[in-house]
Amino acid sequence: MTKLSVNINKVATIRNARGGNTPNVKQFAIDCERFGAQGITVHPRPDERHIRYADVYDIKPIITTEFNIEGNPKGVSKSKPYGFIDLVKEIRPTQVTLVPDAEGVLTSNAGWDTVTHQDYLKDIVKEFQACGIRVSIFIDANPQMIQMAARTGTDRVELYTESYASRYADGREAAIKPFVEAARVARDCGLGLNAGHDLSLENLTYFHQQIPWVDEVSIGHALISDALYLGIEETIHRYLDCLK
C-alpha cells in the first residue's frame, strides 16, 4: 500500500502571512491524520518562511502515524542557534528526507548529485541511521544517480516528480516513462521508493498505476490548494482514492 504523507508547509505560510496562530498548524496536522493521512511532512527552511523550527517541536508529540522532516542537512536556522541536523537528531522523526535546497530558492527544484556528493551523503545517512531514523534522498529520475544513491547506504530515494507533472497534459505516457525506469532501478538496488513535488488529483492516479510499488507520496501545495474548495477531509479522501 502506498502511503499518503501530507506536507503542511502551506498551512504555515498562510499563518505567517498574518501572524498569530490562525490557521493552527498543530491542529491541522492532527486533523489530517484523523481524516486518513498516513503521515505528516514538514520542510523547515533556514528563513522559516513557512514551517518554523518551533513548529517541528510542537508537532512531534501529536503525530500518531509517520513524521517526515525534509530539508538540506547544511541548513541553519536564522532564529535558532542550531541547524537542520541538530533538529532532526533531537526530534528523531520516522524519516528524514535529504533535499539539496540552495539558499533562497522558492521551492525544491533539483535532486542530489549523488556522484559529486557521494562521501558527504554517506556520512549524513550513517549519522541519521545511527539515531534510528529512516533516510530518503531526494533525487531526479536518473538511473545513475539512483545507483549511486544506493551506495550511500540510504534506505529510500524520493523521486522529484515536477517534470512528470509539468509534462502530463502533453502526453502522460511520455511523461511517466523516465520515472518508471528510475523506479525499477531503485527497486533493483533494494531501495525503498518515495515520490513528491507537484503530484495532484489530476496526475496521481496514473503515476500510481504505473509505479504501484511506490512506498509513499508526499503532497503539499496541490493538496492544500484543493482543500480550499473541497475541504481538507474530502481532499484527503480523494487523494487516498488515487492510491487504491
pLDDT of 149: 98
pLDDT of 77: 67
pLDDT of 58: 96
pLDDT of 82: 75
- Tens digit of each residue's pLDDT (9 = 90 or more) over 79-112: 666 789 999 999 999 999 999 975 655 555 679 9
Spatial CB neighbours of 7, under 8 Å, sequence gap ≥ 6: 41, 42, 43, 70, 196, 218, 219, 220, 221, 223
| 87: region left, alpha or beta (phi > 0 left; psi from -120 to 50 alpha) | alpha
- By residue count, the chain amounts to 244
The answer to pTM > 0.85 is yes
pLDDT of 105: 58
Q: In the annotation, is 43 catalytic?
A: yes
CB 242 within 8 A of CB 205: yes
- Active-site choice (33, 66, 70, 216): 70
Per-residue buried b or exposed e for 53-85, using 16+ beta carbons within 10 Å of the residue's own CB: bebbeebbeebebbbbbbbbbebebeeeeebbb
pLDDT of 81: 65
Spatial CB neighbours of 18, under 8 Å, sequence gap ≥ 6: none
Q: Which CATH architecture has domain 3-242?
A: Alpha-Beta Barrel (3.20)
Spatial CB neighbours of 157, under 8 Å, sequence gap ≥ 6: 136, 137, 138, 139, 146, 149, 186, 191, 192, 193, 194
Per-residue buried b or exposed e for 176-189, using 16+ beta carbons within 10 Å of the residue's own CB: bebbeebbebbeeb
- Active-site choice (50, 66, 197, 208): 197
**Using CA atoms, how far apart are residues 136 and 192, in angstroms rounded to an integer?**
8
Sign of CA dihedral 57, 24, 234, 109: negative
**Using CA atoms, how far apart are residues 143 and 72, in angstroms rounded to an integer?**
22
Q: In the annotation, is 50 catalytic?
A: no
Domain ranges of the chain: 3-242
Q: In the annotation, is 117 catalytic?
A: no
**Using CA atoms, how far apart are residues 42 and 91, in angstroms rounded to an integer?**
12
Spatial CB neighbours of 187, under 8 Å, sequence gap ≥ 6: 193, 213
pLDDT of 108: 57
Low-confidence ranges of the chain (pLDDT < 70): 77-81, 102-109
Helix ranges (DSSP H) in the chain: 9-18, 25-34, 53-59, 84-91, 118-129, 143-150, 162-167, 172-188, 204-210, 221-230, 232-242
- Lookup result for grid cell 474548495: 229
